[in-house]
Amino acid sequence: MFDWTALFSATALFYIVFGTFLGIIVGALPGLTATMAVALLVSLTYGLSPVNAIVVLVSVYLGGIYGGSRAAILLNVPGTPSSAATALDGFPLTRRGEGAKAGIIVTTFSALGGILGLIILILASPFLANFALKFGVWEYFWMAIFGIFMSSNLTSSRIYKGLIAGFMGMLISCVGLDPIHGFGRYTFGQTSLMGGISLVPAMIGLFGLAEAFEAIRNPLSHSREDSEQEQVPLFQLFVSSLKMLFKKPILFLRSGIVGTLIGALPGVGPDIASWVSYGLAKRSSKEKDKFGQGSYEGVIASETANNAATSGVFIPLLTLGIPGCAVSAVILGGIQLHGFRPGPTFFFENLSFIYFIVGVLFLTNIIMLIEGTFLTKIISKVLKVNIGIIMPVVIVLSVIGAYAVNLRNFNVGVMLVFGFLGIIMRQLKIPAAPMALGIILGPMADLSFRRGLLAKSYSVLPFFTRPISLVLILTIFMVTIGPNLLKLFRKIRLKRS
Amino acid sequence: MLKSLQLNWLAGALVILVLICWSGVASASAEWPQRSILMVIPFNPGGATDQIGRTLEPLMEEKLGVPIAAQNMPGGATSIGNQYVFDAPHDGYTILVEPTDITSIAVMGQSKLTWRDWNILGVAAAVPAVFVIHPDSSIKSIAELATVMKEKQLSVGVAASGCAWTRAISLFAKENGVKQPMLVPMGGGHPAALAALKKEVDLAVCGVPEAIDLIKGKKLTALAYMGAEDIQEPFIPAITKAFPGFNKFVPFGGWVGMAVAKGTPANVVAKLQNAYNYAVNSNKFKEFLAENNFLEVGLSGEDAEEYVAVSTSVNAWLLYDLGVAPISPEEFEIPRP
């Protein structure tokens, strides 16, 4: 029998504290993502006992997803793709001199979001897993489109600019060998393009390098107002973030539930969860115009959802043995290596193992809350250093990060190209986030669309007639296209009168 | 106070980065291996290739003394993974878990690579094909399947175009003289089984180990598997019971081995071979095979290369004769079996 109480041994606790810390640091550094950290660590965990190995992987993953918000808020450089939505409001808050306060609030809500997701996992896992199975390739196609429309609509006042970026991202994701038949697309006979454009160097260029150049070109863009907020003691900030929870319980619950549900869809994960939650929060907020200018609701929605999604990822993993993302595949491999085979009967037959995973997730969220709270204050002080010192460091980290992906000089080139692309896009006021999301979701849209056609003898009808597909289409229309059309009509009418 | 904090943080960040970079940087002079090895798995997580790769990885690590990082690189019926490993320097730091598809990607027009481009370290296990279907489906047995396929073109989830499971269902259709189904490549055997579970496709063909948990959990019904004897726990009938004509084909399915590019220095290949042999002969690996209904093949070195050559002849010509493969095996000098 699996002894889940080993979780409370001193070594396991040490690994949680250490793993979470490492995850936060890796997540906070632009270009090093949570996924990479877990992939690098997994082979180091084979020497550990099953309990400790899983503890390390889970805590690094959770820490990494949370850590991404640090650089997003303080530097406008999202550390991981899932924190791109956080930067929209986090950075304006920093400029207003409320970076530390925003950091603490985000920390509290990340942890609470993770724990809310965990509660949903305990109560509804088998039910949710069966619900997730209702999402076929047709629905996955719409989910990908949904994510891109959502982020396009939110990152720019004119949706078409966002869509330009999003669809360019999807086209970029087509470069390389086509995943079904293996033919080269857009490779122009270059072998270096056969493997495709990797997300990480592209993202480092678009966010890291472009931001650094922007800051050097116009140092005022990173200037901060002095604010008394910085002098407020930690404990008081923590209490005020708890107060926020009681002021906005609906916002918190909605973001957490949305995050968990999207996390439970295999292959979708935290990246989309944060955008969808942010979009819903904006729609139902009383202070819509504050979004993008430094809204606490915005950062809370995005960060609650992406950490809730980390709990959601475990739902199909534990109930059906389906790994949703690269990280959960690695964790599944780790679990199997130690003799457990999650599958349909696993959840009820191995309750002690479920308790264990729940325990790990819970403890990691608590430790993350403590570590994050202390680190926020330190990091925000550190990043107050002259922008002329910080930004060159960001550039150096960008080059190292791009090279470290798989030790190819080619990726440094990709990073530079996307860096310059990012600078041009800023001049044209085209947002970068939809492009990054396009690169992530492009393959999902492409493959799901083609598989959907193949499965029903090349008929496109199922994309519109399946019930969940229809709901997704209507949501996309109501949330993104509809309001923009209304705006357009109003404009035309104004011109006429 | 503030200054020292800033410096500490920056220093800490840099140290971590440098460590991450070092883990990959090689010094060419010293003895191989000097740094971590990348193990490319050319299919999605959860499938037979992935399971074998991830089981061998820590065992080979023990022998080689450096970390091995396993990475899934699915797509193009393994041609993306094959190409990636082949394009990497031939220094043994990038190795490939090689499934059957190396016998078919050339004639399917997915890649120029054949078994001749690889040093096959070994063929570890064979994976018999199983036909799985959603329990709600009206088709309840393999005989009924053949009847239905006469009338209707079914959609069938497989791993990739030209994969072992494609060959299994195409052979089944041809032998019974029924309509060739619409194939839907799902990127791996496990995703193919899930496609049947989610009713995205009418039927799925995958490896027995890839669907066994779902069959045990009664989420999927196994109509038959391409073997000679029934599997008892969970019960899966052998195809030969309903169709004795398949006796000459079984066991039919895929296999999983490991390869490193031709042109890798001989001493490096020898070390990898040694580590591979150690891993496949360990009790841990053998128990894993038995538990998961893999069939042990246990060939290594030249024997394995011979096996792959024969397998290439059989599979490539089968696909070409079935009309699935567009390119003649003759173009790659693959002799008829």
User: Which CATH number is associated with domain B35-127+253-332?
Assistant: 3.40.190.150
Q: Which has more pLDDT, A181 or B313? A: B313
- A424 band by pLDDT with thresholds 50, 70 and 90: very high
Judging contacts by C-beta atoms under 8 Å, the chain B residues touching residue A63 are: none
Q: How far does the CA of residue B247 sit from the closest CA of chain A (Å)? A: 31
Q: Assess A41–B contact: CB distance below 8 Å, yes or no.
A: no
A87-132 tens-digit pLDDT: 889 989 888 888 888 888 999 999 999 999 999 998 888 788 888 8
Which residue in chain B has the smallest CA separation from A386? Answer: B6
Q: How far does the CA of residue B266 sit from the closest CA of chain A (Å)? A: 24
Q: How far does the CA of residue B63 sit from the closest CA of chain A (Å)? A: 13
Q: What stretch(es) of chain B map to CATH 3.40.190.10?
A: 128-248
- Contact between A381 and B182 using a beta-carbon 8 Å cutoff: no
What is the structure's pLDDT at B28? 43
Give the DSSP letter string of A3-72: -GGGGGSHHHHHHHHHHHHHHHHHHHSTT--HHHHHHHHHGGGGGS-HHHHHHHHHHHHHHHHHHHHHHH
Distance between CA atoms of residues A270 and A33, nearest Å: 12
Which residue in chain B has the smallest CA separation from A407? Answer: B24
Report whether pLDDT(A470) > 90. yes
In a mutagenesis test of the A interface, which of B17, B169, B287 is the best target, namely the one with the most A β-carbons within 10 Å? B17
- A231 band by pLDDT with thresholds 50, 70 and 90: low
- Partner-chain residue, chosen from B17, B160, B201, that has the shortest CB–CB distance to A400: B17
What is the structure's pLDDT at B26? 44
What part of A 406-425 touches B (C-beta under 8 Å)? Answer: 406-407
What is the structure's pLDDT at B20? 60
Report whether pLDDT(A166) > 90. yes
What part of A 287-306 touches B (C-beta under 8 Å)? Answer: none
Dihedral of the CA atoms A248, A252, A257, A260 (nearest 10)?
Answer: 170
What is the structure's pLDDT at A114? 92
CATH superfamily of B128-248: Periplasmic binding protein-like II (3.40.190.10)
- Contact between A403 and B13 using a beta-carbon 8 Å cutoff: no
Q: Assess A32–B contact: CB distance below 8 Å, yes or no.
A: yes
Report whether pLDDT(A17) > 80. yes
Cβ of A381: how many Cβ atoms within 10 Å?
17
Q: Where are the beta strands (DSSP E) in chain B?
A: 37-41, 68-72, 94-99, 118-133, 155-158, 182-185, 203-207, 221-225, 253-261, 295-300
ipTM of this complex prediction, to 2 decimal places: 0.78
Q: Is the peptide bond before B234 cis (omega within 30 degrees of 0)?
A: yes
CA dist list (Å): B94 to A70, A103, B67, B253: 35, 41, 12, 27
C-alpha A259 chain-centroid distance: 10
- Partner-chain residue, chosen from A182, A343, A456, that has the shortest CB–CB distance to B79: A182
In a mutagenesis test of the A interface, which of B200, B285, B327 is the best target, namely the one with the most A β-carbons within 10 Å? B200
Q: Assess A348–B contact: CB distance below 8 Å, yes or no.
A: no
Q: How far does the CA of residue A247 sit from the closest CA of chain B (Å)? A: 35
CA-based Rg of chain A, rounded to a whole angstrom?
22
What is the structure's pLDDT at A305? 93
Burial A152-170 (b: 16+ CB within 10 A, else e): bbbbbeebebbbbbbbbbb
- A406 band by pLDDT with thresholds 50, 70 and 90: low
- Contact between A43 and B57 using a beta-carbon 8 Å cutoff: yes
Q: Given phi > 0 = left and psi -120 to 50 = alpha, else beta, which region is A224? A: beta
**Residues belonging to chain A:** 497
Q: Is the peptide bond before A249 cis (omega within 30 degrees of 0)?
A: no
How much helix, strand and coil, in percent to the nearest 5, is found in chain B?
A: 45, 20, 35
Report whether pLDDT(A1) > 50. no
Phi, psi of B132 (to 5 degrees): -120, 150
- Contact between A29 and B17 using a beta-carbon 8 Å cutoff: yes
- A230 band by pLDDT with thresholds 50, 70 and 90: low
What is the structure's pLDDT at A465? 92
Q: How far does the CA of residue B180 sit from the closest CA of chain A (Å)? A: 13
Q: What stretch(es) of chain B map to CATH 3.40.190.150?
A: 35-127+253-332
A43-64 tens-digit pLDDT: 666 667 777 888 888 899 889 8
Distance between CA atoms of residues A280 and A479, nearest Å: 8
Which residue in chain B has the smallest CA separation from A179? Answer: B75
What is the structure's pLDDT at A387? 76
What is the structure's pLDDT at A47? 67
Sign of CA dihedral A53, A54, A55, A57: positive
What is the structure's pLDDT at A315? 87
Q: How far does the CA of residue B155 sit from the closest CA of chain A (Å)? A: 5
SS3 of B139, please?
A: coil
Per-residue pLDDT of chain B in tens (337 residues, 90 and over written 9)? 444 555 556 666 666 666 565 554 444 446 888 888 889 998 877 778 988 998 898 899 889 988 888 887 877 788 888 988 998 899 999 999 999 999 999 998 888 899 999 999 999 999 999 999 999 999 999 999 999 999 899 999 998 888 889 999 998 998 888 888 999 998 888 889 989 998 999 999 999 988 888 898 888 999 999 888 888 878 899 999 888 888 888 778 899 999 999 999 999 999 999 999 999 999 989 988 988 888 888 898 889 999 999 889 989 998 898 888 889 999 999 998 8
- Contact between A404 and B20 using a beta-carbon 8 Å cutoff: yes
What is the structure's pLDDT at B129? 92
What is the structure's pLDDT at A337? 63
What is the structure's pLDDT at A286? 87
- Partner-chain residue, chosen from B17, B51, B83, that has the shortest CB–CB distance to A194: B83
What is the structure's pLDDT at B1? 40
Report whether pLDDT(A351) > 90. no
User: What's the mean pLDDT when you consider all of chain A?
Assistant: 84
